[in-house]
Amino acid sequence: MPVLTRDEAQTRAQLIEARRYTVHLDLTQGDATFDSRTVIHFTARTAGDTFLELKPATLRSLTLDGHPLDPAALADNRFPLTGLTPGEHELRIDAAMHYSRTGEGMHRFTDPADGETYVYTQLFLDDVQRVFPAFDQPDLKSVFEVSVTAPDGWTVAANTRETGRTEDGRRTFAPTPLISTYLVAVIAGPWHTVRTHHAGLPFALHCRRSLAPHLDADADEILDVTRACFDRYHEKFDEPYPFDSYDQAFVPEFNAGAMENPGLVTFRDTYVFQSAVTDTQRQARATTIAHEMAHMWFGDLVTLRWWDDIWLNESFAEYMAYQVLSEATCHQDTWTAFAVARKTWGYDADQSPSTHPVAPDPEAVPDTAAALLNFDGISYAKGASALRQLVFWMGEKDFLAGINTHFARHKFANATLADLLDNLATATDRDVHAWAAAWLRTTGVDTLTPAVTDTDTGWTLDVTRTGSRPHRITVGAYDQDLLEADTLVLRERFDLDVPASGTDADPVTASATGTDPVTASATGTDAERPSGTASDADADLPSAGDTSAPAPAADPVLIRPGRRPALLLLNDGDQTYAKVRLDPASWKTALRSLAGIPDALTRAVIWNAARDMVRDGQLPPAAYLDAARAHLPHERDLSVVQGVLAFASQQIADHYLGPDDRPAALATLTALCRDLMRRTEDGQDPGLRLVAVRHFIAAATQPDGIQDWYDNDSVPGGPLLDPELRWSILHRLAVLGATDEAAVDRELARDPSATGEQGAARCRAALPTPEAKAAAWDRLFTRDDLSNYLFTATAQGFWQPEQNELLADYVPRYYPAAAALAARRGPAMAEAAGRHAFPAYAATPEALALGEQHLRETDLTPALRRKLIDQLDALSRALHIRSTP
């Protein structure tokens, strides 16, 4: 099917204005298709030709201004509209549409727990044509008036309040304000619903009936977070919430974390927790709630004009979610979680071949297929990090003033990066356009490296930056506690500006002298050395590339006497987006006293520095594991524990160490987890104990211990095994060859839920027999009957480092099989095939060469090609790390 190009969208937006859609969906026509009847009122500004997007099972009829058009004219999911005359027009379309099992369009799901069926729409980015015909581009906003006919006993919800229903099961909903086509939403099924009111609006939560007890258990928590964020956004934003209700639906087999449909946000229903969870998981759910609510302003009220500005949606929602959650709820440490769980996603994406600017040039996003590829760690995490740096530089008061001007000028309309920068500029005397050029139009991660020198009278700091961006950072100076040698105390923090001049080949240096009061002076390259002043809350940051005029000279300073700090940390507080290094003395202190640093975010910055050094081949993976073994048993922040363990297991043990070194790594991880379990035997920290148990299971190399847990339905000292832990143990037993398909069948009979089906699929694919692998391969790449979630579960079970000999013949089969699947099943399944079904364990020169050959010679869909490029780069990185002494 052809994708919409930017040029086509611009041409169509110049020709027509979409005024109103009246959409009726009939969901009583069976389990394969539903009926879609649509009336579109639009205006043609001039005479001309255009087209409508539509992907029907059957196009029954189409009329323009009462005149029938030939359904056979539909080609490649486009219907041509030729010879339009200036003025008002009316299109009427009657079609049958396919239900989806890939999470695109109108997804249909039957719950194995009780046989109940549910449907929901996911129309992002260009999937509206799978549900109803549309002029599908974000800048053709319109009013949508939706009605739905559903079976008896079903609940139906849409973007707006229900206004009526008829005896034949038809429900009507209030017209929406002007919104984009991709934001229209409908859910239908026998949902369990929790309702309340807040600020004069109806709020609701929806989930499958089989999840009702779990939603009811958490409803107060979810609604408390929702209300707190809602109120906090109204304190920050002048524009009130722009829609007439706020429903949150937890839907099955959802591809994303959530979707910001106005008035009806959809979430993956794994956020309805069915097993024990940690506080960090609850915080992650709360962050997603806050993120989607921020979209009601960033994305829904004011919408991007074209997909090159997706960061206007995602980066802002990401930043606002973490900030508002930390201000308005019990989750006070959100930025620590961001540092270890999200920002690293941005760093990794930004160092891959597919990196792109946060705000790419429009020409770099020529069509919707290219746009879809940019929903990644750059548009989310790096963009949010850039905004955090912007707020640190210009101040939150001015930042919010500019944002509120932006909302007022563009509400219910579309805007661009240029519009946003102009609006921010009205609130500050800072050169935000130059800042944006340096931060939003460039790629890659800068690296900040310190050099600390003792002098006769004090100490000095030189910061060298490779990269191109200006940075305002906080520097933390720490000393050993006089009473506790392994504890560090903060001596002082001071801000430092690193200017924008210089390149990777010609790095800049910012210099600071330890003083009381602290001042810092910045220097440029050898050729151009503007001097700087002490950095404080109101100091300006040099514009990108502006090194021609020297800044005022620094005031005379009083040199601080005494020795240098035991540990000096750049970017303390994590306010900028850059890799940081530690000087040798500070790194030695960190290795000795990392767990004794008082602030969790400071510890997270150091752990991220160590992570980056491993990925860059500057720190042996075993040294990272040794640091984790030494300090993690004493770590007090659960986000840090989870982040370090995830990197140690999923990257170091699974990829960065070769087969000969993997057993020792797993032994280190299990020993570390035992230490954490011993620390939590008193029951005072069940979240930490749960994390330790999960990682112990995943790293187990012998079945005996975890088999006893499984048989006894409990870990000694707790916890009792819930379904998630039972499936985790059974999966690891399957990998180790210590169970069989009969045991999987018995566990599925015990847990016949949707998550049980996924657990069973994962376990069956992990069994180390030729028959199990052949059956899993057939399900993945031949039969095409797996839903998106069951495909992912099967793929996650298939490739296992412990089964290299059994899997070797499948590695070359992967590329042609994945290419064919992506062409047949579309972008969502292509992404799943590239992410989850890729043989990432096979980090060998031969596997890398094979993949690169297929990239050169195979015709791949854009979604799959993008994933494979990054996966092969990850293989190359793993090989480099393995070969580094």
Query: Which stretches within 240-333 are classed as H helix?
Result: 279-294, 311-328
Other beta carbons within 10 angstroms of residue 195's beta carbon come to 10
Question: DSSP secondary-structure letter at 241?
Answer: P
10 Å CB burial of residue 746 (0-12, 13-18, 19+) is: exposed
Pairing of β 264-268 and β 246-251: parallel
**Residues with catalytic annotation?**
292
Across the beta sheet with 16-26, the strand order is: 67-69, 58-64, 87-98, 33-44, 16-26, 143-149, 170-173, 162-165
Structure tokens at 17: 């204005």
**CB–CB of 513/472 below 8 Å?**
no
Question: DSSP secondary-structure letter at 616?
Answer: T
**What does each C-alpha distance from 558 to 103, 368, 394, 517 come to in angstroms?**
64, 59, 29, 8
Q: Is 331 helix (H, G, I), strand (E, B) or coil?
A: coil
Q: Is 179 helix (H, G, I), strand (E, B) or coil?
A: strand
Nearest to 177 by CA among 297, 306, 45, 36: 297
Across the beta sheet with 579-580, the strand order is: 519-523, 508-513, 459-466, 447-454, 579-580
Give the H/E segment covering residue 732.
helix 723-735
Nearest to 759 by CA among 785, 733, 784: 733
C-alpha to C-alpha distance for 212 and 194, rounded to whole angstroms: 9
**CB–CB of 603/595 below 8 Å?**
yes
Cβ neighbors of 746 (< 8 A, separation 6 or more) are none
Placement of tokens 């043989």 in the chain? 839
Instruction: Write the DSSP assignment of 797-811 as a string of letters.
Output: HH--GGGHHHHTTHH
**Residue type at position 97:** M
Query: HEC profile for 546-605?
Result: CCCCCCCCCCCCCECCCCCCCEEECCCCCCCCCEECCCHHHHHHHHHHHHHCCCHHHHHH
Question: DSSP secondary-structure letter at 5?
Answer: B
Torsion of the alpha carbons at 212, 122, 88 and 58, rounded to the nearest 10:
-100
Main-chain dihedrals φ then ψ at residue 493, nearest 5 degrees:
-130, 140
